[in-house]
Chains A and B, each alone.
Chain A
Amino acid sequence: MARRIFKPRWQLPHLSLKDALFIGFCALFAVLVRVFFRIKLRISGRSMLPTVFFLMLARGSVSYPFAAIFAGLLAGSAAMFVGFAKQGPMVLLQYFLVAAVIDGLALLLPGRFRHPVWSGLTGALAGFSKFFSDYARNFLIGMDATVNLQLSLIEGAGAALFGLLAGLLLPVVLRRLRAYGVIV
């Protein structure tokens, strides 16, 4: 009797070590610049600028379909290491949500963040994911639903604005990198 060999119809693409290390650098920069953005400028959602920028840079420079999620998980782990752990696992969730939106839209939208409109839209939606993580955190600590909704909407709107800015800045960088032949 012939042995039946099970072959999966779809396999996860291989991520080279060089790309993985570059994604790791992007993740650490997302955390380090975010730490720097903790200075009190009294602007809501400002930390989403480096987060969205570096996660989108990871996805835009590497052709691996889950690059942003990998970067997000590494950034979340590193963030817990450098002191955001007071938020507990929520910091991982926050990075994961942003990264999942970026990877999802990179698959759906054309050009992989080369066009400013699509890139800006991706950045804004990725930034707005802060609404969900903030709502979940406030829900868990028992905040009133209406106040929670309003507060999370304000936070989400601010984060979406900074995400939009990050999304608009990214195509400039990607265009230069492509011109130098660093990425394809």
Chain B
Amino acid sequence: MGSRMPAAQGRLAQGGTRDDGIGRRMIVVMVLSCLAFLARRVELLLLLTGINAVAIFWLHRGPLSLRREMRTFAWQTAIILGLHLFRFRTMAGLWLGFKVSWQLFLALLPGMVFARTASQSGIVRVLTRVMPGRAAFVLSTCMRFIPRLLGEIKNIYEGQVLRGARILPRDLVRPWHWADLLHCVVVPAVVQGMALAGHIALAARARGFERFPRRTCWPGE
């Protein structure tokens, strides 16, 4: 630690920034996500999956457990397959749905892994190069906390299903059940989002955020 500090201070004194290659990683993530939307054929999707595996190894600098991401993929695939089955009622429709789910997963996976593995201060520092500091803080903080909020919304959803709310995918194909979704999931989710925003704001203020016009501290350096 002691030997690293002077070098880091020296770089900062020379006007350099320490983002641990986060800017480069961010560009790679964006490119991979864009490629996922462009890949329509199975061969391309397979190729992109391989590239993603290599990129994830590089993003994390080592092997990484993807259990949480795979759960998200399974959940998303179930919903998309349900909707496609309702729309097309054929095996071809189901295969189309699976490909769409695969594509979506490949589009979101690099961003999810990046948000998990990159330090928040690094993300903010990169974003402040292209947008105002406050907006960069808001965007990076929300990106960091969105998986947590999604997890809480999932808990709300499961709780409401157990209570008998008609919000399962097969119920939601009937528009008159959408009111249940609004009352049982959307409203509590908004309340949860506001509460989480309040807690984060309180924590940030307690750490002196916005006390000075320019940011004075970058944690992790």
In the complex, the answer to whether B107 meets A85 with C-beta atoms within 8 Å is no
The listed residue (B33, B34, B134, B187) touching A177 by CB distance below 8 A is: B187
Query: Chain A contact residues: over half helix, strand or loop, or mixed?
Result: helix
Contacts of A35 in B (CB 8 A): 104, 107-108
The listed residue (A21, A26, A40, A77) touching B200 by CB distance below 8 A is: A21
How many contacting A-B pairs (Cβ < 8 A)?
A: 121
Contacts of B134 in A (CB 8 A): 20
The listed residue (B80, B131, B143, B200) touching A28 by CB distance below 8 A is: B143
- How near does chain B come to A114, taking the closest CB pair, in angstroms? 15
Contacts of B194 in A (CB 8 A): 18, 22, 61, 182
B205 within 8 A of A: yes
Q: Which of A119-127, A133-141, A151-159, A168-176 contacts B (4 or more CB under 8 A)?
A: A168-176
In the complex, the answer to whether A25 meets B196 with C-beta atoms within 8 Å is yes
Contacts of B186 in A (CB 8 A): 173
Q: How many residues of B contact A (CB 8 A)?
A: 51
The listed residue (A19, A32, A74) touching B139 by CB distance below 8 A is: A74
- How near does chain B come to A39, taking the closest CB pair, in angstroms? 5
B28 within 8 A of A: no
Residues 141-184 of A contacting B (Cβ, < 8 Å): 169, 172-173, 176-177, 180, 182
Contacts of B210 in A (CB 8 A): 17
Contacts of A18 in B (CB 8 A): 194, 197-198, 200-202
* CB-nearest residue of chain B to A74: B139
7 new A-B contacts at CB < 8 Å, known A39-B84, A83-B34:
A17-B210, A18-B194, A25-B193, A25-B197, A27-B139, A38-B104, A83-B33
